[in-house]
Each structure stands twice: as structure tokens, then as C-alpha cells.
Amino acid sequence: MEILKFIEQDSLKKEVPKFNVGDTVKVSVKIREGERERIQMFEGTVISRRGSGISETFTVRRVSYGVGVEKIFPIHSPNVQKVEVTRQGKVHRSKLYYLRNRVGKAAKVKEKMVN
């Protein structure tokens, strides 16, 4: 068990930006297509974070062409290049699954005013 904890601590060296549920983020993901690699951006609202340590993940949701799209990203994955926070959301819950049932402006999260 101690060996597993040591391996986990060793692979947690990557810097992780501070973001919370409700924030709008841009996630840069490395995608392999055959021999080529490219970086693809996915921008949306963080609706959940789960797990801890090496297995921590976060879910990002956006509406694309009228269809809701959610992707789950491992925080410590080597395929996740960077996570940029574009705006901070003002929320009182740890999971924002209720946004799935909302349409239009009702699906927005209020922005937190930073003084």
C-alpha cells in the first residue's frame, strides 16, 4: 500500500490550476490521429469534480449547435495540456447537474465579482 502511495505522489508533480465548480474553463487536450498529434480546445462550464489524488476528474459541459456536450477529463492526465479559467462562477452547490435540464439563459451561471 505504501508503494502505491509513493507512486501516486511521484506522478502528482504536474501543476494544476485552481478552478472550482461553476467556473468556465478552456481545456487544451492532445489528440492523436494516426501518426499526427494536435491540440483541441474544449470550452465550457465545470459541472462537477470528483475523486482525489491521481484519480481526480472534472466534468465540463457546453451546448454546441443546440446539443449539450459533456466531457470528463482526468486532472493529472498527460493528454490534458492546460486548463485556463476564463470566468469564475458564483454557485452554492458542489455538483451542477441541474444545468442539464435548463435551456438558454437559465442554463447560465452567474459570474463572481472579484474585488
What pLDDT digit, counting tens, does each position of 29-66 carry?
Answer: 999 999 999 999 999 999 999 998 888 999 999 999 98
Closest-CA residue to 108 (of 93, 92, 91, 94): 91
Residue 112 lies in a domain: no
Residue 56 within any structural domain of the chain: yes
Q: Identify the domain containing residue 22 by its residue range.
A: 2-101
Answer yes or no: is 113 within a domain.
no
Q: Is residue 67 part of a domain?
A: yes
CA distances from 65 to 13, 20, 27, 43, 68 (A): 38, 26, 19, 14, 8
Answering whether pTM is above 0.75, one says: yes
Q: Which three cell numbers stand for residue 98?
A: 441541474
Rounded to whole angstroms, the Cα distance separating 58 from 65 reads 23
Quote the pLDDT of residue 115.
Answer: 60
> Is 75 a domain residue?
yes
Per residue in 64-110, pLDDT tens? 998 999 999 999 888 999 999 999 999 999 999 999 998 888 888 88
Residue 71, domain member (yes or no): yes
For 6-27, what is each residue's pLDDT tens digit? 777 766 667 778 899 999 999 9
Q: Is residue 114 part of a domain?
A: no
Q: What is the residue whose three cell numbers read 472534472?
A: 58
Task: For residue 63, list its beta bridge partners.
Answer: 68
Structural domains of the chain, count: 1
pLDDT at 89: 92
The CA radius of gyration of the chain, in Å to the nearest whole number, is 16
